[in-house]
Amino acid sequence: MRILIADDEVTSLRLLEKTLQHAGYEVTVVGNGREAANQLCCPDGPQLALLDWGMPELDGLGVCREVRRQPNQRYVYIVLLTARDSKLDIVEGLESGADDYMVKPFNLEELKARLRSGARILQLEDNLVEAREDMRFRATHDPLTSLLNRGAIMDLLGQELTRSSRESGCTVVMLGDLDNFKSVNDTHGHIVGDEVLQGVAHRLLTAMRSYDLVGRYGGEEFLIVLNNCGPAKASERAEQIRRVIAKSPLPTSHGKLPITMSLGVLASAEWGPLPAEEVLREVDTALYAAKAEGRNCCSLAVPGAARMHTSV
């Protein structure tokens, strides 16, 4: 584990550095408080710190306060080192943001034990953060494909439509449905069907820009939201996605299977402000039109006009 030692007394600094290196720590040493604060406030800075109370430019308490003011930063476990030993000094040190306090001269074995305690606390925090992120992912993603789930993609669609309307921009919404997917399940079984859904999800992600959104809307339907995509590009982008899905048979445990997708497409700028539910109704109607055209094609929803289709 990485640890920072900040002390303006060179002899003490070198002794601590060698002791902690022998104990297996990756040690960074600095001679003043300002340098210590800069190191500890970096996103990838050390998470353990030994700070001398009295240092030039910024004292140990000042370093503690600066570190604690940083938003959204991984926790830094700080031990203050000082010759001050009154209860008031200890209280002041801890209230400044220090986690522990050792009075000089101190026992090196005790110091190493306290650092091990700090490392355990940091590991516990990392475990909690990991568990929280795992819960957040499970709450917003489809367990089979790892795409956004229906609730998450619908929430984001609503936000994107609101943003586009406010900024007079355009969001392209697509609803894609795998053609004849029921026959895959009936012929090869649901395990192979799941493999197909996972393979399609992977291909969809390769066709997206980093800031586009794609989610599993339900069953074999996928909802795609393209940010800042003008009406002139809507059919072109839909056709690109259709080709990515159909480009080659998908490998499965029962061999390679040809898979195609039909897509309904809507460019929000052509419709004016609409709630997400109404946008979904229109794009779903366009999807049905694509199915009626023979599948493996795209149908563009245009207000008051015949739908436009592209296909192979």
Strand ranges inside the chain, DSSP E:
2-6, 26-30, 48-52, 77-82, 100-103, 172-178, 213-218, 221-226, 250-252, 255-257, 261-267, 297-301, 308-311
For residue 105, say if its preceding peptide bond is cis, omega within 30 degrees of 0. Answer: yes
The per-residue pLDDT for 8 is 87
Candidate list 35, 160, 220, 282, residue with the active-site label: 220
What is the Cα–Cα distance from 13 to 29, expressed in whole angstroms?
7
220 catalytically annotated:
yes
Name the nearest CA neighbour of 166 among 175, 155, 177, 158. Answer: 158
Q: Which CATH superfamily is domain 150-311 in?
A: Reverse transcriptase/Diguanylate cyclase domain (3.30.70.270)
Q: Residue 311: which of 303, 300, 298 has the closest Cα? A: 298
Full pLDDT tens readout for the chain, 312 residues: 999 999 988 888 898 999 999 999 999 999 999 999 999 999 889 999 999 999 989 999 999 999 999 987 889 999 999 888 888 988 999 999 999 999 888 888 999 999 999 999 999 988 998 999 999 999 999 999 999 999 999 999 999 999 999 999 999 999 999 999 999 999 999 999 999 999 999 999 999 999 999 999 999 999 999 999 989 999 999 999 999 999 999 999 999 999 999 999 999 999 988 999 999 999 999 999 999 999 999 999 988 754 455 544
User: 294 by DSSP, 3-state: which?
Assistant: coil
pLDDT at position 310 is 52
Q: What is the pLDDT of residue 260?
A: 97
> What is residue 308's predicted lDDT score, i.e. its pLDDT?
52
Cα torsion angle, 14, 17, 20, 22, sign:
negative
Distance of alpha carbon 281 from alpha carbon 165, whole angstroms: 18
pLDDT confidence of residue 129: 86
Which tokens in the block code for residue 35? Answer: 């340098």
pLDDT of amino acid 159: 95
Nearest to 142 by CA among 187, 209, 205: 205
Task: Write down the pLDDT at residue 72.
Answer: 78
Cα 65 → chain centroid: 29
Q: Domain segments of the chain: what residues?
A: 2-138, 150-311
> pTM of the full predicted structure?
0.70
What is the pLDDT at residue 311?
A: 47
Which of 140, 250, 136, 264 has the alpha carbon at shortest distance from 202? 250
CATH of domain 2-138: 3.40.50.2300
